[in-house]
Every structure is written in structure tokens, then in C-alpha cells.
Amino acid sequence: MKSIGRQTLLLFFLALIGLSSTKLSAQATETEGAAYAQIEDYANILFFTGAQEPAIGYLYYLYDAYPDQQVRTAVPLASWLDLADRQNDARDLLQTLFTKRSDQARANQELVRYYLTLLYSHGDINEADSLFALLPREVSSHPDILLVHLTSLAMLDKNQELLEQIALLDTTQLTTPQQQDTYYRLIAQSSSKQGDYQRMLQAAERLVELDPSSLGNHHTRLEALNALRLDDQIDKSLAQLQQTLSLPDAYIDVTRAELIASRRDTKQSAEYLYHYLERQDSISPVSARIVSMLLPDFSDISQIPSEFIPALTRLAELEPSDPKLFADLYLIVSTQQGKAQAEQLVKQFYDNPKTAYSAVIVKASQMQEQERIDYLTSVQKRYPADLQILALYAGELIAHDRLDEAQQAISSQLDLTKLKTAKSVEPTEGLRMLLLYSSLIYEKQERSAQALEVFEIAERLFPRDAILLNNYAYYLYTLSPQDSSYLAKAEQLAATAYGLAPEEANILDTYGTILLAQGQTTMAQLMLSQAVERAKQIGKPNAGYIERLGDAYLQGGDRQAALQQWQRAYKLAPTEGLQQKIDSLTP
């Protein structure tokens, strides 16, 4: 037999005692008031021990059995219905009560306050306004009732009427902190809409005094101070906010940036951003957020105001691994300050070992082939330990089929034997690129053992790099005709790469190709069709993807679909191999 909880037994006991006692009380008690009070007590016990519905049932009984006490009963009953997520029942109850017993109901301040709040929250504005207009003076002038009405005016943006009502309010009646908080919050809100920021500030100061632990109160004061451009007081207010609520520096920095950004003052935003970045050693997520708030979002970067050039320069110094950032800065300076100033910027970055790579990319992009190789050769000699510059140099050599030179340059800084056993290697972008190029060289030289060795190192150091994993998977696929055991590892790598970058067309193509080789035709068709569609979406339709999709359809037995895909591929890039495939299916 299942055990019955102590609370459950208590509730059953109370319910049974309550029912029997009610009947006895109704017969034996001299006054109805005693019976009413007894039932009300039982209902309270039930409700606050968790039996909400039985308790509500008791109050409904009282409401029906004691018509003269309906106003009294409605106060807790409506509240309990609300707490039990039965707001519609509460609204219907009060609507009926205020219709049948309007005078008594309107005279009960607590009931009126609750009903007004309920009506306003449900959007029954006209009904709420009508109720307020018919309230006795002593009720409508009660602070709690009046504040509910004023709050509704604020919600409805009836600012002029709100100001008029606030002016008539007797503030000496606002005796509780909650009443005062509501009052000053309404003043702050209405003053903000009117543009009276001095009055808003006064109200905000009182709000902070009433509850210094409220983050919202501090932000209301900051909003007023910001509108008045009182920067010294903003700094003091932020310091108080941080000390009172023990907030981290990052929160204060973001808040200050939000205030500056809201002013839409180009010069001030640019100056603040520059001084902020000057204090940073690197770009954190917080720094990136502040940059995004203060830096204008121009579709044409050449139109970014020149005031932001110092901040952008500092940003490029902090993000040397992002060459596009410096390239954009170079374009802005060239456009707005002239070529000479832009070249001076390149020299400044080139002479700094931390930022040289950014300058080298911009400079190299302006040169012809042989000039570029000569330039990169000299740069690599000046910065031999910079792996990104070395990768740039090696990539240029590979592009000109100077594979031995490229491998020799890479080997000067990359010891594969040490990398295989090293326990703590920083996985930098430069190292990543050198591993990619090294594997490519060995592939081109058909040195599979060395290529596999490089890929194994790359997988260990960069286990979540989708491009490296994809290249490794495809290389294993190319080796599978000689050794089919490579396919299982290839599929696992391709699946991981797909999970990391499911929108990358090249990865979709690799995964689909490997699945096709594994005989998983349906999944291969799905992946390859996605690769074809993705390439089309980015404006780079790929004949190879389309051809392999045709291969997948043929393997699945759909000759017509295969022919259609091969014909599409042939229109993009006609080859003899494709023509032979088309001829084989053409009657």
C-alpha cells in the first residue's frame, strides 16, 4: 500500500472537519458572522497549505451563501483566483459584483485597487476609466487607487493627463516606500517624455535613495544625467552603482558606452572608443560589444567618419590576426587622408612585429607576381619566426609550383617530429596555415606517408577546425582505391566537419562523395544536393558538385535525374569526361 503524506492527511482532515463543523456552526452558532469566520479560517488554512482549489471552493460557498458579505469575500477570492491562474474567473466575479453591488464594491478600496489593476492589465481601458470616474471621492483619492490609475495613464501614453493628475496628488498621503517608489517612477517617466530631464533627475535621485539596491533606479538616474550631459556626475553615479551592487568593470564599461552611443555624437563616440581601446590589451567579447555599439555601421566603409581613424587604428593593433580589419583601415585612410598617410600607416604597422602581418598582406596585394615573391622573401627574412608571414610566403611559392622551396621554408620553423609528441603547443593561425600548406605540398608530391603524418598532427592540434578535417577526410578518400580501410576514418572526419560547418558547400560535397563511396546512396544524394544548392545560393555554382550529384542519382538507379545533372554540369564546365557520361545515357 502506498504511503500517504503527512500534508495530504492534514488537508483531508481539515476538509472533513471543516465540512462537518460548518453544518454544526450554521445550526448552533448564534450569529452568522461566527459561521462565516469559521469557514473563512478553514479556507485560509487550506489555501496556504497548498490546497488552492478546495480553498477557492470554500470561498465560492461563502460568496453564494452570504450575499451581504460578498464584497468582503470577493477580496481574497479574486486574489486567490489570480494566484491560481484563473484571471478570467476573477474578472468575471468582480464584473458581476460591481454590477450588482456597485456602491458597496466601490467603497472597498482594496477591492477597487485590485479590480482596476485587473482591468488595465487586460486592456479593458474604457471600463477601468468608467469605474474610476464613478468612485467615491474618498476612494478615488486614496493613494493606492490613484497610483494605479496614474500608472495606467503612463502605460497608455496619456502624458498630459498624467501630469495634470500628478499635480493634484497630495504627496503627504504617500507614506509607504512602495507608494513613493511608484510616484517618483511616474514622475521620471513622464518627465522623460516631456524632455524635462532636470525634473526626471530629481525623481531619479529620490528613487535611488528609496532603494539603492535597484539596478533600474540607478539606470533611470544615468539616463537623466546622460540627457543633461553631466559627465562628471555620470562617472560618480557609475562608481556608486558599481560599489553598491558589486558589479564587474565590464558591466560599467558597457553601460558607459551605451550612454555615449545614445547621444549619436560622432566626435564623442570616436574619442571614447579610442580611449577605451587604449586601455585594452586584447579584444574580449565585452570589447567587441562596445566596438559594435560605438562604431558606425556603414555599408560603404570609406564613408566612416575620419574621427574614428584613431580608434580603428588601435583596434587593428589589438586584432593583428584579422588582416581584413587593417585592409579596411587602409582604404579609409587612403580615401579620407590621402595615399601618403595610408603608406605611413603601413610602415607603422610593418615596423611593429605584432602587427607586421597585416601590413604585409596589404602591401603584397598591390604587387605583381615576381615583385610579390621578392617582397615576401625579404619580409620572411626580417620576421623569420612569424608563422603567418611564413605561411603567406609558402603559399605564394606553392602557387608557382616551387614546392621544394616552400617545404624547405616551412621546415625551417616547423619540426614535425617535435609536434607529434609535444604536449603543449599553442594552436595559432600561423601554425594552422603551415600545416595546411605542408599537407598540400606532400599531396602534390604524392608522398602519402608524410601527408598523413601532417594531417594526424593537424587533427590533434585543431580537432574542431572544419577545413582541416575536411581536407584530411578528402585526402583519405583519394587514397581509398588503394586501401578501402581509409573510408571509415574519412567518413568519421567528414561527419565531424559537417557538424562544425553544416552550411559549407565544400564540406557537404566531401561528405556526400564519401557516403557515396560507402554505398550510402540516399544520404549521399541529400548531402550532394545541399552542396549544389548552397553553392548556387552564394553565387558560385560548381560543376563538380553537380556532376557528383548526377553520379549519386545513377548509383541510386535514377538514370534520368543523373542525365539532367550531368547536362547542367556540362553547361557550366564542359569536359570530355562529362560528355562521355552524357553519351552513355543518351539513346
Tens of pLDDT, residue by residue over 183-229, are 888 888 888 888 999 989 999 999 999 999 999 999 999 999 999 99
| pLDDT band (50, 70, 90) for residue 93 | confident
Distance (Å, whole) CA 64 – CA 130: 27
Q: Which residue has the higher pLDDT, 350 or 85?
A: 350
Q: Could you give the domains of the chain? A: 35-141 (1.25.40.10), 475-586 (1.25.40.10)
How many Å from the N-terminal Cα to the C-terminal Cα in the chain? 79
| pLDDT band (50, 70, 90) for residue 437 | very high
The predicted model gives 519-538 an average pLDDT of 96
Q: What is the pLDDT of residue 180?
A: 82
Q: What is the pLDDT of residue 131?
A: 67
Distance (Å, whole) CA 437 – CA 451: 10
Q: Which residue has the higher pLDDT, 192 or 497?
A: 497
The predicted model gives 535-546 an average pLDDT of 96
Q: What is the pLDDT of residue 342?
A: 94
Cell 558547400, residue located = 505
| pLDDT band (50, 70, 90) for residue 123 | low
Contact 477, 514 (CB under 8 A): yes
Distance (Å, whole) CA 525 – CA 568: 16
Q: What is the pLDDT of residue 181?
A: 82
With 80 as the cut, is the pLDDT of residue 160 above it? no
| pLDDT band (50, 70, 90) for residue 479 | very high
Query: What are 47-61's pLDDT values in tens digits?
Result: 888 888 988 888 888
Contact 408, 400 (CB under 8 A): no
Distance (Å, whole) CA 177 – CA 175: 7
Q: SS3 letters for 511-557? A: HHHHHHHCCCHHHHHHHHHHHHHHHHHCCCCCHHHHHHHHHHHHHCC
With 80 as the cut, is the pLDDT of residue 449 above it? yes
| pLDDT band (50, 70, 90) for residue 586 | confident
With 90 as the cut, is the pLDDT of residue 564 above it? yes
Q: What is the pLDDT of residue 82?
A: 78
| pLDDT band (50, 70, 90) for residue 256 | very high
Q: Which residue has the higher pLDDT, 29 or 577?
A: 577
C-alpha closest to that of 381 among 429, 413, 349: 413
With 80 as the cut, is the pLDDT of residue 9 above it? no
With 70 as the cut, is the pLDDT of residue 133 above it? no
| pLDDT band (50, 70, 90) for residue 157 | low
Distances (CA, A) of 545 to 505, 515, 566: 9, 14, 10
The predicted model gives 568-578 an average pLDDT of 95
Q: What is the pLDDT of residue 79?
A: 81
| pLDDT band (50, 70, 90) for residue 38 | confident
Query: What are 293-326's pLDDT values in tens digits?
Result: 998 776 677 778 889 999 999 999 999 888 888 9
Q: Which residue has the higher pLDDT, 544 or 6?
A: 544
Q: How many residues does the chain have?
A: 587
The predicted model gives 135-159 an average pLDDT of 66
DSSP 254-287: HHHHHHHHHTT-HHHHHHHHHHHHHT-SS--HHH
Residue 197 CB coordination number (10 Å): 20
| pLDDT band (50, 70, 90) for residue 116 | confident
> What percent of the chain clears pLDDT 70, i.e. is strictly above it?
84
C-alpha closest to that of 376 among 404, 355, 397: 397
Q: What is the pLDDT of residue 15?
A: 46
Q: What is the pLDDT of residue 65?
A: 85
Contact 218, 208 (CB under 8 A): yes
Residue 541 CB coordination number (10 Å): 18
Strand, coil or helix: what is 185? helix
Least confident of 54-68, 278-292, 450-464: 54-68
Rg of the chain over all Cα atoms, to the nearest angstrom: 38
> What percent of the chain clears pLDDT 90, i.e. is strictly above it?
58
Phi first, then psi, for residue 162 (nearest 5°) are -60, -45
Contact 292, 277 (CB under 8 A): no
∠ CA 120-126-128, nearest 5°, is: 45
pTM of the model: 0.65
Q: What is the pLDDT of residue 25?
A: 45
The predicted model gives 537-553 an average pLDDT of 96
